[in-house]
Homo-oligomer: A and B are copies of this chain.
């Protein structure tokens, strides 16, 4: 018995903003899973900014995609056929299957999702890679102390929203930058941030000086570019900058240029450190997920999902990550259970 499958492949390297011309939908037939393998039906596919980096020719921290290769990414799904003693039919799993409706994986390649009071989609967001990114980046590199001032960019996004909330739990004053007033209201009124800056309509520098009169102790950088420049000029003594993403630069077609600002690190005795969630390991990840999960249950952490229905919409939804049109963790709902 075979399974009819479809997946999205990268048909060309994007120049600038990715668009639907860079993707193609491929049909195939999957054979039955071999011994130790399972057939997974995708329920949710996650779309994340890092995927833009994989579409680039040339080196990054992970190998780039080749033309016609399946788009990379994590999914959560349900096991429809099992040839594994470890994972029975009906199990929910998380897997690096890519942008696909079905996939065949060895039982050792996937993570079985335990029963949880939270939706399984959260294991792609607040209880998945973005949640761990926020948690480890803030706590391991940022080391927040009560009373310190933290700024996080892309503050209503999957990572930024959690960074700000964990910083609040740790007693920080928290400022978030966002791209519209609805997001600004959301991070203040729903998530409890102290201040929000709409970088598209407000004078960022003026607002930073107003909200951070003693400088910025921790900056969690998801965006790079002008916002980051301004913040590097306003660091407090011994500030920590976590570089997690540079989304404002990912679609640049020329080498992005900006002010040379390393002097501010000498002046303030500060540091800038790059972070990748893959550095932290199962033990630390388990502690992190347990804590975030409890914070959600206790009402201390909220999360927002932006769920787009329909596998066919993955490429157009992906574009929205870079225009700032998504609001919360962007997911494609591929199938129902």
A residues apposed to B, CB below 8 Å: 59-61, 221, 224-225, 228, 243-246, 249, 255-260, 262-276, 279
Give the shortest distance, in Å, between A75 (CB) and chain B (any CB): 24
* Distance of A139 Cα from B274 Cα, bound (Å): 21
If A244-B266, A266-B274, A270-B274 are given as contacts, then 17 extra A-B residue pairs at C-beta distance below 8 Å, sorted by A number, are A60-B267, A61-B267, A224-B262, A243-B262, A243-B265, A243-B266, A245-B266, A246-B262, A258-B259, A262-B272, A267-B274, A269-B274, A269-B275, A269-B276, A269-B279, A271-B274, A272-B273
Contact of A268 among B61, B244, B245 (CB under 8 A): B61
Q: Label chain A's interface by main secondary structure.
A: mixed
CA distance A165 to B182 in the complex (A): 57
Take A268-B61, A279-B269 as given contacts and tell me if A221 and B262 are in contact as well, using a CB distance cutoff of 8 Å. Answer: yes
Q: Which of B61, B257, B273 contacts A260 (CB under 8 A)?
A: B257
A270 to B260, CA, bound (A): 18
Q: Which residue of B lies closest to A273 (CB)?
A: B271
Chain B residues near A257 (CB, 8 Å)? Answer: 257-260
Q: When the two chains form the complex, which single residue of B61, B256, B258, B271 contacts A266, counting CB atoms closer than 8 Å?
A: B61
Residues of B within 8 A of A243 (CB): 262-263, 265-266
